[in-house]
Structure 1
Amino acid sequence: MTNQPKAPLTYRDAGVDIDAGDALVDRIKPLAARTMRPGVLAGIGGFGGLFEVPKTFKEPVLVSGTDGVGTKLRLAFDWNRHDTVGIDLVAMSVNDILVQGAEPLFFLDYFGCGKLSVDTAAAVVGGIAKGCELSGCALIGGETAEMPGMYPDGEYDLAGFAVGAVEKSKIIDGKSIKAGDVVLGLASSGAHSNGYSLLRKILERANAKPDDDFHGQKMVDVVMAPTRIYVKQVLAALAKHGAAIKGLAHITGGGLLDNVPRILQDGLAAKLHRDAWEMPKLFQWLQEQGGVEDTEMYRVFNCGIGMVLVVDPAQADAIAATLREQGETVSKLGEIVPQEAGMAQTFVV
């Protein structure tokens, strides 16, 4: 008995389409080109991105951050909304490195999927490029991985990596914060990219649909609103007010209660006043539909505050005015107080 010759296999037969990958690179290049800034020596297409730290820095310290988008992606799949999660991806990392005073310099992304849809991937990367434009950093590289059998059709995963720089003498570490300092809050654009496991559970309980009306907007537009990027506005305030801005906290996973303590020294606490800002309608609805207790809300969601600043009380009004000039909605949330025995490091009264 002779063996019959078998048809030759190709990578496409195994589920990987090299031509689709090449087509995506062609679609990405003009998007990335719009994000270029001084310092980029080599960007998309090479084995590695090259970036020269600007000579305006005298003692540059590099600050890096990495993050994803979390289960907000589940809604992107289910509701077919792919053009905003790229902004979320950039925002999560650049807002994180901003809190140490860093100017974002460049960004890299990772996109993993089972079967590559060029249109979907291009929509996602278009959002990444938009986020880089908003934060002033260059999209200089990334990785698109098509891995058959690893993800269901139509689904993908994202990761992002940002690198920034700050003068060594201007690193913000919260060590100068003291009792009596003022806590300012910058408004969020929605739920950003945190708490979506609970948010999706509440949507399911409420039987909410993407096209439902929510105070004159579609539910999908409210729930999928991209994370606000605070980089240019906060850097402008830092340039003008310097050391009077003593600490910054990006309100991500852990909400207000777990993120603000990350910049406080032992023996200090942040006392926030619940009437200092109005909780946006989305969070009011989530709390009502989910029966979520106040403490859980403040620990899971940003509740309308996406960035917190701890500032010198003598310059609090001036700093708030500068941020408002930059387009931010600013609230005076509370103050820093001595931490008494049994007191949480951040609490709302």
Structure 2
Amino acid sequence: MTSSSAPTPLSYKDAGVDIDAGDALVERIKPLARRTLREGVLSGLGGFGALFEIPKRYQEPVLVSGTDGVGTKLRLAFEWNMHDTVGIDLVAMSVNDVLVQGAEPLFFLDYFACGKLDVDTAAAVVGGIAKGCELAGCALIGGETAEMPGMYPPGEYDLAGFCVGAVEKSKILNGQGVVNGDVVLGLASSGVHSNGFSLVRKCIERAGDQLPATLDGQPFRQAVMQPTRIYVRNVLAALARFPNTADTGTPSGIKALAHITGGGLLENIPRVLPSDLAARLDKGSWPRTELFDWLQRTAGIDDTEMNRTFNNGIGMVVVVAASAAAACADMLRTAGEQVFEIGRIAPRGDGAAVVLA
């Protein structure tokens, strides 16, 4: 006769998933989420679904949604152990997109996936997400932490998130009011934001041990990893003061917004212009930072490639009636934005939708 013994029990933790670590993370992030609470939140973290009531001040609310990730900027976060600001990037990429429709971001949910959960790292990332939500005035009302053994190398993770906002139906920005002669204002970026990092990483690789110690008065790594600027509060205030339609029915305020992400100035501005109009931008109308100078010099690329890869110093474009442009720019500067008049709207003809001259 042969004898057999029962197999050694295997727990979920033995398989690589630590439920206790997940619970510890939830407890760490609950106070962070509480700081983002705002009107409309009906439930906190921990439920199967998050509940949100559209504020009653909206008469004809239209929901606007946006979703994004952080891209290969995460590779540098892993290599440089800089995890506390990529969560801001995550929020910024979605809330700035929602803002372009004229919408107020209401709530945000995130998805954090890793092979093995490191509570400290995850808490740092979610802390950045909560900070981004505070800056945008939206609530962090839920999310998902997925621990998936074998799916990600040790020390690595992925991030995604989405935002839902609301705008009055009559105040949706769609660019239809844009006309010849409107002014193009550019709001300064905080750096590369979260696009073009595949090229940034190639530049770092090419530079090798010849990396500059500082750029724009900051240590090199800090300059490169500066989180995406969140424009929500200041631009919403400007939209309230300079609405896109006056009582006469003639558009006289802010006509369109463009978030300068992948594709840069050359590919994002046309998305909010009528097909017969173009943006004619003045090359020297906004300053170039040391960071973008270094990237262009190291990559060895021309101005066109720079302006279709990076934001190149302008993170948000505001198209506004000429009659309101100066006052709008002054208001945004007073609120803390760096604002530059970078061009005008003109007939497109047979030319490009964006012309830099």
- Contact kept? 2:215, 2:290, Cα under 8 Å: no
- Contact kept? 1:79, 1:210, Cα under 8 Å: no
Q: Normalising by structure 2, report the TM-score.
A: 0.96
Correspondence for 2:125: 124
Alpha-carbon shift at residue 216 of structure 1 (Å): 3.6
Alpha-carbon shift at residue 6 of structure 1 (Å): 1.1
Alpha-carbon shift at residue 208 of structure 1 (Å): 5.4
- Contact kept? 2:67, 2:160, Cα under 8 Å: yes
Q: State the alpha-carbon separation in 2 of the partners of residues 69 and 210 from structure 1.
A: 24
Q: SS of 1:303's equivalent?
A: coil
Counterpart of 1:285, as a letter, is W
Q: Percent identity, aligned pairs only?
A: 68
Correspondence for 1:107: 108
Q: 1:305 aligns with which of 314, 319, 343?
A: 314
Q: 2:348 aligns with which of 326, 339, 344?
A: 339
- Contact kept? 1:210, 1:218, Cα under 8 Å: no
- Whether 1:264 aligns to 2:273 is yes
Q: State the alpha-carbon separation in 1 of the partners of residues 49 and 154 from structure 2.
A: 29
Correspondence for 2:249: none
Q: Normalising by structure 1, report the TM-score.
A: 0.98
Q: Which stretches in structure 1 are left out of the alignment for 5+ residues? A: none
Correspondence for 1:150: 151
Q: SS of 2:261's equivalent?
A: coil
Correspondence for 1:291: 300
Correspondence for 1:48: 49
Correspondence for 1:65: 66
Q: 4+ runs of 1 displaced by more than 4 Å?
A: 208-211
Q: SS of 1:238's equivalent?
A: helix
Alpha-carbon shift at residue 291 of structure 1 (Å): 0.6
Q: SS of 1:242's equivalent?
A: coil
Number of aligned positions between the proteins: 348
Correspondence for 2:250: none
Alpha-carbon shift at residue 325 of structure 1 (Å): 1.1
- Whether 1:36 aligns to 2:37 is yes
RMSD value, Cα: 1.1
Q: State the alpha-carbon separation in 2 of the partners of residues 123 and 344 from structure 1.
A: 44
Alpha-carbon shift at residue 265 of structure 1 (Å): 1.0
Q: Which stretches in structure 2 are left out of the alignment for 5+ residues? A: 245-252
Correspondence for 1:318: 327
Alpha-carbon shift at residue 187 of structure 1 (Å): 0.2
Alpha-carbon shift at residue 149 of structure 1 (Å): 0.4
Map Cα deviations across residues 109-153 of structure 1 (whole Å, 9 max, x no partner).
000000000000000000000000000000000000000000000
Q: State the alpha-carbon separation in 1 of the partners of residues 232 and 210 from structure 2.
A: 33
Q: State the alpha-carbon separation in 1 of the partners of residues 102 and 5 from structure 2.
A: 67
Alpha-carbon shift at residue 279 of structure 1 (Å): 1.3
Q: Cα distance 1:215–1:260, how it changes in 2: closer, same or farther (>3 A)?
A: closer
Correspondence for 2:237: 236
Q: SS of 1:308's equivalent?
A: strand
Q: State the alpha-carbon separation in 2 of the partners of residues 109 and 169 from structure 1.
A: 30
